[in-house]
Each structure stands twice: as structure tokens, then as C-alpha cells.
């Protein structure tokens, strides 16, 4: 089903590294007409877009866009739509991780996480919707996290932003299907990106961006609403919904492990 992405115009936020960069590469490999990469990191945007433009000339565009600023997200999406008069995909992907004990969380941290992880996705989604309704098609893919599906100790702030992304996007799917719109939610577990920079090694169950995107793009083509990866996260998600006592054993043991890691190594992983 390569044609699902062929000759399509896409927008990606947080496209200059990690999962967003993987999305860019996978769209180009699958024949996209143009990918508009948005990010706040100009250096990475320039380096990666120049590299990709050699492989896919005339198909990669960059916009310095901070997802906490509605007008900058608007500019990114408007430019993409103006390119060929249609907007096929919007990947609201920019986000920041936060794993901290409650006593270290400030209200300022809450606000920053909500502004980037939730308001950023809201700005992208609600800017794209009227354009897509008008044209009668479009697929919006919002990056959440497994932490939005199941409770994870030391990630209350992050989880709150990601579960809001999940429930908003699910609601929109059922409201706007009749207008020709499609929604998907990515719920990654551990994927090796700069999120794990500074650790001696990424978590043992972490997969590469390429492995993650192979699975995610196959599911996006199938128009799956909730896309969870890797397999171990699909298993734990089912455990949470179908066998809470067993799930709780796993999650209390994770809490103990994180407490001990933090005490001995200063990090949770
Ligand atoms: N890597 C994982 O294990 C993992 C797990 C679950 C969810 N996620 C989610 O995946 C998404 C991508 O994360 P990643 O792991 O690729 O991290 P990453 O740090 O490699 O990439 C995030 C990108 O977003 C950009 N960004 C940060 N703030 C921004 C802002 N205000 N406006 C625009 N761009 C901004 C960064 O410059 C960076 O290029 C995030 O939403 C993250 O929460 C990642």
C-alpha cells in the first residue's frame, strides 16, 4: 500500500531528530511529494534537511516552528497546504519527556509540559481540521506515549499530557470520520532517541527509530486509531485492561526499581 503516501504533502512537528526525523524519512521513502519539517532546533533542521534533500531533491522543506506558538504552527501548516493546494498528513509529534518524583515537580514544569506536549498537539490538530474538512480528506497522527495508556510511576506530569492527547484524538476520530478525516495516535514505549541521552545505555527493551517507524507506518496505512509499539508495550497494555492485579505487580516493581535506580545512579533507567 505504498500509494497511501505517494504524492502526498505532510507536516511533521519535532521533525529534526528522533521519531520525527524517522517519520520524515519514512514518508520520503514511501513517495511523498513534500515533507514540511517543523522544529525549534535550527541547527538540526538545517543539517537533516540538507542531507535528505540530496536523496530526495525538492521534497524537503523546513520551517522554524515552536509548537507552543499557535501562529508558528499555523505558518508551518499553511505553507504546506500552499505547496500543492492540499494537506494530506499532519504529524503532531514534538514533545518532551519528564520522569521525576512528585516532590521535584514545580508548577512551571507542569505548564511547560502541557504547553509542548498538549497545547502543541492541539494547535496542530485544530489548525489542520478546517483545511481537511474543506478538502474532504486528511490524516492527523498525534504522538502520545504508552504512558498515556497505562499508569507509570514517576511520570505523572508526562502521563497527564499524553492521556489528554489520546482521549482528544479518539473523540475527534468518531466526530470527524463523516467529514473524511482520519486520526491515529502513536503510543511508543522505549524508542532509542535523544530522550535517553546521558544514560550509559538505552533501556534494554528499547527499539530503534527505524523499527518503530516500520511498524507505525504499516498501521497508519491501515488507518489504525491507536498504535502501540513495541510488542512488549502491547502486551502490558492488554494486561492493564484485562488483569489489573497482575499489572499492579509489574508496576509496583517498576516503581521500586526506579526508586532504587534514582538512589544509586541518579537516573530512573
Ligand atoms: N523516544 C521514546 O522512547 C518515546 C516514548 C514515548 C513517546 N515519545 C514521544 O515521541 C515524540 C518524539 O520524541 P523523540 O523521542 O523523538 O525525542 P527527540 O528529543 O529526539 O525529538 C523531539 C524533537 O522535538 C523538538 N521540539 C522540542 N520542543 C519543541 C517545540 N516547543 N516546538 C517544536 N519542536 C520541539 C526537539 O527539538 C526535537 O527535535 C515526543 O512527543 C515524545 O514524547 C517518545
Task: Name the CA dihedral angle for 35, 46, 39, 174, rounded to a multiple of 10 degrees.
Answer: 10
- What is the residue with the minimal CA distance to atom 20 of ligand 1? 18
Burial (CB count within 10 angstroms: exposed 0-12, middle 13-18, buried 19+), residue 102: exposed
* Residue from 14, 125, 149, 186 whose mutation best tests the ligand 1 pocket (most atoms within 8 A of CB): 14
Task: Please state the φ and ψ torsions of residue 37, each to the nearest 5 degrees.
Answer: -90, 120
Kindly state the average pLDDT of the residues 181-200: 91
- 127 pLDDT tier (thresholds 50, 70, 90): very high
Note the pLDDT of residue 204.
Answer: 87
Average pLDDT value over all residues in the chain: 96
What is the pTM (predicted TM-score) of this model? 0.97
158 as an active site residue: the answer is yes
Domain 2-234 fold is Rossmann fold (3.40.50)
Mean pLDDT value of segment 203-222:
96
What pLDDT score does 164 carry? 98
Q: How far is the CA of 95 from the centre of ligand 1 (A)?
A: 4
pLDDT in tens, 95-119: 999 989 899 999 999 999 999 999 9
Residue 267, pLDDT > 90, answer no
Q: Which of 158, 240, 268, 269 is catalytic?
A: 158
Residues with CB under 6 A from ligand 1: 13-14, 16-20, 39-41, 44, 66-68, 93-97, 116, 143, 145, 188, 190-191, 193-195
Give the mean model confidence (pLDDT) for residues 27-42. Answer: 98
Whether the per-residue pLDDT at 73 is higher than 70: the answer is yes
pLDDT at 120: 98
3-state secondary structure at position 146: helix
Greater confidence (200 vs 157) lies with 157
| Choice among 2-6, 148-152, 199-203 with the minimum mean pLDDT | 199-203
> What pairing do the DSSP bridges indicate for beta strands 89-92 and 60-64?
unpaired
pLDDT beyond 70 at 154:
yes
pLDDT at residue 266 in the model:
81
Which pLDDT value is given to residue 2? 58
Give the pLDDT confidence score for residue 262 in this predicted structure: 85
Ligand 1 center from residue 244 Cα (angstroms)? 30
pLDDT digits (tens, 9 = 90+) for 80-93: 999 999 999 999 99
Delimit the domains of the chain by residue range.
2-234
Separation of alpha carbons 85 and 249, rounded Å: 53
Amino acid at each position: 500500500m505504498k500509494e497511501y503516501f505517494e504524492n502526498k504533502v505532510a507536516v511533521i512537528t519535532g521533525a529534526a531528530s528522533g521519531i520525527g526525523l524517522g517519520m520524515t524519512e519514512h514518508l520520503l521513502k514511501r513517495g511523498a511529494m513534500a515533507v514540511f519539517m517543523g522544529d525549534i532546533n535550527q541547527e538540526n533542521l538545517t543539517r537533516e534537511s540538507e542531507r535528505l534533500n540530496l536523496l530526495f531533491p525538492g521534497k524537503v522543506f523546513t520551517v522554524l516552528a515552536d509548537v507552543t506558538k499557535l501562529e508558528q504552527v499555523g505558518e508551518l501548516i499553511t505553507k504546506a497546504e500552499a505547496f500543492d493546494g492540499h494537506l494530506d498528513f499532519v504529524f503532531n509529534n514534538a514533545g518532551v519527556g519528564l520522569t521525576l518524583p512528585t516532590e521535584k515537580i514545580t508548577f512551571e514544569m507542569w505548564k511547560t509540559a502541557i504547553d509542548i506536549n498538549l497545547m502543541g498537539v492541539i494547535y496542530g490538530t485544530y489548525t489542520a481540521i478546517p483545511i481537511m474538512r474543506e478538502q474532504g480528506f486528511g490524516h492527523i497522527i498525534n504522538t502520545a506515549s504508552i504512558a498515556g495508556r497505562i499508569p507509570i510511576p514517576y511520570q505523572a506530569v508526562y502521563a497527564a499530557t499524553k492521556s489528554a492527547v489520546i482521549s482528544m484524538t479518539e473523540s475527534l476520530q468518531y466526530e470527524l470520520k463523516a467529514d473524511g478525516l482520519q486520526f491515529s495516535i502513536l503510543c511508543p514505549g522505549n524508542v532509542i532517541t535523544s530522550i535517553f541521552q546521558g544514560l550509559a545505555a538505552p533501556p534494554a527493551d528499547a527499539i530503534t527509530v527505524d523499527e518503530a517507524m516500520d511498524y507505525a507506518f504499516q498501521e497508519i496505512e491501515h488507518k489504525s486509531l491507536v498504535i502501540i509499539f513495541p510488542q512488549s508495550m502491547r502486551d502490558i497494555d492488554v494486561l492493564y485492561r484485562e488483569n489489573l492485579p497482575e499489572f499492579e505487580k509489574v508496576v509496583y516493581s517498576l516503581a521500586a526499581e526506579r526508586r532504587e535506580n534514582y538512589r544509586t545512579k541518579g537516573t530512573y533507567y
